[in-house]
Structure 1
Amino acid sequence: MPASRRRRLLSASLLLALATGLIAAHLLHLDDRLGLYWREQRASESERQGGIWLPDYRLVLETELAGLAEDETSGLTWNPLTGTLFTVTGQNPQLVEFTPGGVILRRIRLEGFSDPEAVEALGDGRLAIVDERRRLLAVFHLEPGIEHLDLATLPSYDLGFAAAGNKGFEGLAWNPHTRRLLLAKERDPLGLFSLPFPGEDGAAGILEPVPGAHLLVRDLSSVTIDPRSGHTLLLSDESRLLVELDLEGKPRSFISLFGGLHGLVRGIAQAEGVAMDAAGNIYVVGEPNRFYVFSRRPQQH
């Protein structure tokens, strides 16, 4: 092969590799993350104290939710009225209540649910569950001693996106500051949506896209609201990221969920649910039944 042709082929290969790398970096938001990392390093102390500030978080507990390995946990919420956490399972639909230490307190069968993906404690003691495949939101009071819930008897709200299939709403959060629900659509299209608080009969306002949110992730697995600052915390399974958004929907901080970072040894392979309590502790569940607790440990800057 002539030397000139070899040079042309080498140049073409280098250009193709560069273009592929740039496309991959764009799809993975690597440029955005690098820019956010740079801004994190230059943030003032008031900025660090004014929100969640994820770089200061470290893993303090990793355990299994006993007996749920075959059920596949998905979604998570902190209930301040009971001081406990709730998750839902998709393989065998149920609502599970457990302690911040990962001790299961009770399981409630979810009859009529197809694919529960998110659960949230609302402002007046009610709980809400999103069924991704049925594309609906069910709202209910959970009375003591209940062993099962029947979807047919619960107030529910149609979330639309009939063609979403298994890429519908996976995240749900109650915002006590705006008294609205925040829903996270996994992808196609990826996005955040706002819904006025459902009434006792399940009636709700119009589902509206949240404008201006810059998400930095490839998909959305879960979402929660920091009850102190009102900032939004996003969880992405594919990107293996936790991302903090400020009140304007702009990224404020992030951490990666790979092994070797923030106290994680193995990393979180399939993160499915995130929640926060009023003390700022962050809880994460991952399939099939892993449970993680992160607490803020301020560093010297």
Structure 2
Amino acid sequence: MATAPNSSLNPARRPRFGLRWYIWLLLVVVAYGVAFAMHWDSRGVLWVKEQFKSPAERQASIWLPDYRAVIDAKLLPGMEKDEASDLAYDPQTKTLFSVMGKNPFLVELTLQGDVLRKMPLVGWSNPEGVTVLGNGLLAIVDERQHLITIVKVDANTRELNIADFPKYDLGPSKDQNKAFEGVTWDARNQRMMLGEERPPALFVWNGDGKTLTGDKVKLASHALDMRNLSALAIDPRTGHMLVLSADSHLLLELDKKGEQVSFITLLRGFNGLKNTIPRAEGVTMDEEGNLYMVSEPNLFYRFEKQR
């Protein structure tokens, strides 16, 4: 009596469930690896927490989810090879100052991203951070030289020489090539906030807006769940801090206690962005709550809150 062929013994007819299972497993592992590297799991937790914030809590914060890009990837002409590295707002001149890291320059911009002047930074190696102290004083961080320099800029300034200004040694970093990159002046508390790129860390250095006193002190923070730290800014209205990460495509809001409040992702399709911001390196905010960013190599962004 003939019997039906046993498919389990016939390799040609055996289902390829094993291969499919391995492919799905590989996809899951890769997806998890990307999510872990980008900290999407943490962003998901924060997104859930955002949903439970009351209207009063949102009103008392910057509340980044309400922001939309109104100037998207505007080119800064003639700076394609300079690499925009940071951005700071000056409330006295109502203009922006940006540093170029590859070819050291200080650039003054309008709030619409138009170039007013370009000032060579003589003696700097790799300026990566800039902040406005007031009364024409700015602080510039050189990541390669591990220095912070306080400079004076007025309407007649055309060039700055590092030898003419006071300098402060930032000391060694765990990774000397990924050292101090973020800086912002906290006027309310008369202190300089400094950010180390990788691993992300925050430091505070007391001062009076003209000089720094003592030494920098590292802050304990568990909120910097990002791949790197690119820039810092203080909201003059709430006192909350903005922390930017180019590698994580993320802008994070921290409250005065250093706790996460809100965030936006800097990817295509989110918050009015037509395309992903390629490498966001600078952020600042004016007294009206408008948000400004620069990205390598020479892109300018302006975000406004949708009320």
Is the structural similarity TM-score above 0.5?
A: yes
How many Å apart are 1:213 and its aligned residue?
4.2
How far apart in 2 are the matches of 1:195 and 1:159? 10
Which runs of structure 2 are paired with 1:160-171 in the superposition (5 Å)? Answer: 160-161=171-172, 164-171=175-182
How many Å apart are 1:73 and its aligned residue?
1.0
> Equivalent residue for 1:47?
57
> Equivalent residue for 2:149?
138
Q: Is the 8 A contact 2:197 2:229 kept in 1?
A: yes
Q: Is the 8 A contact 2:202 2:221 kept in 1?
A: no
2:118 counterpart of 1:115: no
How far apart in 2 are the matches of 1:259 and 1:41? 22
Which runs of structure 2 are paired with 1:163-242 in the superposition (5 Å)? Answer: 164-187=175-198, 189-197=199-207, 200=210, 202-242=211-251
How many Å apart are 1:246 and its aligned residue?
1.1
How many Å apart are 1:206 and its aligned residue?
1.5
Q: Radius of gyration: which is bigger? A: 2
Q: Residue 122 of structure 1 aligns to a residue in which SS?
A: strand
Q: C-alpha root-mean-square deviation of aligned residues, in Å?
A: 2.4
2:274 counterpart of 1:265: yes
Structure 2 CA distance for partners of 1:53 and 1:145, relative to 1, 3 Å: same
Q: Is the 8 A contact 2:104 2:122 kept in 1?
A: yes
1:25 to 32, 35, 51: 35
Which runs of structure 2 are paired with 1:67-86 in the superposition (5 Å)? Answer: 67-86=78-97
How far apart in 2 are the matches of 1:9 and 1:293? 49
State percent identity of aligned pairs. 44
Structure 2 CA distance for partners of 1:126 and 1:213, relative to 1, 3 Å: farther
What amino acid is the match of 2:39? H
Q: Is the 8 A contact 2:206 2:212 kept in 1?
A: no
Structure 2 CA distance for partners of 1:203 and 1:253, relative to 1, 3 Å: closer
How far apart in 2 are the matches of 1:157 and 1:96? 22
Which runs of structure 2 are paired with 1:244-283 in the superposition (5 Å)? Answer: 244-283=253-292
TM-score, length basis structure 1: 0.90
How far apart in 2 are the matches of 1:211 and 1:46? 28
How many Å apart are 1:65 and its aligned residue?
1.5
How far apart in 2 are the matches of 1:221 and 1:152? 26
Q: Is the 8 A contact 2:131 2:184 kept in 1?
A: yes
Gapped runs of 5+ residues in structure 2?
A: 1-7
Q: Residue 38 of structure 1 aligns to a residue in which SS?
A: helix
Structure 2 CA distance for partners of 1:65 and 1:14, relative to 1, 3 Å: closer
Structure 2 CA distance for partners of 1:101 and 1:21, relative to 1, 3 Å: closer
How far apart in 1 are the matches of 2:129 and 2:93? 19
Q: Is the 8 A contact 1:275 1:284 kept in 2?
A: yes
What amino acid is the match of 1:81? Q
